[in-house]
């Protein structure tokens, strides 16, 4: 058998080997998949940002009530995180991989997106955790230094224990978020990056 015979067999098979498609059901499924996908993107893009801005407003309001400056620091750190996410997603959306591009371009676009994602998560400490972290810790210290000296001895000891607990729990939560992100890099993004690089190399 020659390769051309093989090709003839292949093409004669092609027409026979087709599933029956229920077109109305298919179109309905596609519509729904598109809607679900859009809703998922909206939820992902809007929710986190909305929470950041909501917390900005809450802290700003608290500040306008109490005039304690650490609240202003907290509010602006929330604004920074929210703003950073909005700008980053806007810039990334413009560069999203287009599946109707030639393979080589699409692989390169995907690789750029994955590399950016890796950079973002690896540096999650600097842009996502540090700003509110500084704000929260300053706020705790401010309250601690204001309240504890006014208490009598046993009350002060209890105050210090409370302070240490609260700081500890906060650190734990931050550490957990940090680990979640680094795990995602290790287990999902880096393998994906290697896969794409392999594809690109084979194509060049």
Partner 1 sequence: MTDKQDNIFTDWLDQHLGLIMHIVRAYAIVPEAREDLFQDILLQLWLSIPNFKGNAKETTWIYRVALNTALVWNRQEKRRQKHQTFLDSFKEIDSQNAGNDSIENLEIINKLYIAIRQLPKTESSIILMHLDGLAYQEMAEVLGITASNVGVKLNRAKKSLGRLMKGLIDDL
Q: Which does 57 bind (CB under 5 to 8 A by kind): partner 1, a copy of itself, none?
A: a copy of itself
Q: How far is the CB of 192 from a copy of itself (least distance, A)?
A: 24
CB of 191 to a copy of itself, least distance (A): 21
22 burial level (CB within 10 Å; 0-12, 13-18, 19+):
exposed
The CA distances from residue 56 to 69, 79, 87, 127, 183, in Å, are: 14, 6, 17, 16, 29
| Structure tokens given for 18 | 């087709």
Q: Rule CB under 8 A: is residue 65 a binding residue for a copy of itself?
A: yes
DSSP class of residue 17 equals S
Kindly tell me which residue out of 66, 104, 115, 123 binds a copy of itself, with binding defined by CB under 8 A.
66
Q: How many CB atoms are closer than 10 A to CB 200?
A: 15
Round to whole Å and give the CA distance between 90 and 84: 10
Which range binds partner 1 by CB under 8 A, 103-111, 123-131, 161-169, 177-185?
Answer: 103-111
Residue 83 is a binding residue for partner 1 (CB under 8 A)? no
Q: How far is CA 85 from CA 1, 23, 59, 91, 173, in A?
A: 60, 40, 19, 10, 20
Which of a copy of itself, partner 1, none lies near 61, with the C-beta cut-off 5 to 8 A by kind? a copy of itself
Residue 32 burial (C-beta neighbours within 10 Å; 0-12, 13-18, 19+): exposed
Nearest distance in Å: CB 28, partner 1 = 8
**x/- letters, 85..104, toward a copy of itself (CB under 8 A):** --------------------
Nearer to partner 1, 25 or 126 (CB): 25
Per CB under 8 A, the list member of 56, 59, 78, 110 interacting with partner 1 is 110
Residues within the interface to partner 1 (CB under 8 A): 1-3, 6-7, 9-23, 25-27, 29-30, 33-34, 97-107, 110, 187-188, 191-192, 196, 199, 202-204
């Amino acid at each position: 058998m020659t390769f051309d015979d093989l090709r003839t067999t292949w093409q004669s098979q092609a027409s026979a080997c087709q599933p029956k498609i229920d077109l109305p059901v298919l179109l309905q499924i596609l519509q729904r998949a598109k809607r679900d996908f859009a809703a998922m993107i909206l939820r992902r893009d809007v929710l986190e940002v909305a929470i950041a801005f909501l917390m900005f407003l809450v802290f700003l309001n608290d500040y306008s009530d109490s005039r304690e400056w650490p609240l202003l620091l907290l509010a602006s750190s929330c604004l920074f995180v929210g703003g950073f996410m909005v700008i980053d997603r806007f810039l990334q959306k413009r560069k999203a991989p287009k599946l109707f591009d030639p393979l080589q371009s699409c692989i390169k676009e995907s690789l750029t997106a994955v590399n950016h994602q890796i950079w973002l998560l690896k540096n999650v400490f600097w842009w996502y955790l540090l700003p509110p972290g500084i704000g929260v810790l300053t706020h705790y210290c401010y309250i601690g230094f204001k309240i504890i000296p006014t208490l009598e001895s046993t009350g002060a000891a209890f105050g210090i224990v409370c302070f240490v607990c609260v700081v500890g729990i906060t650190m734990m939560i931050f550490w957990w978020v940090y680990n979640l992100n680094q795990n995602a890099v290790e287990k999902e993004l880096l393998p994906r990056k290697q896969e794409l690089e392999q594809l690109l190399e084979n194509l060049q």
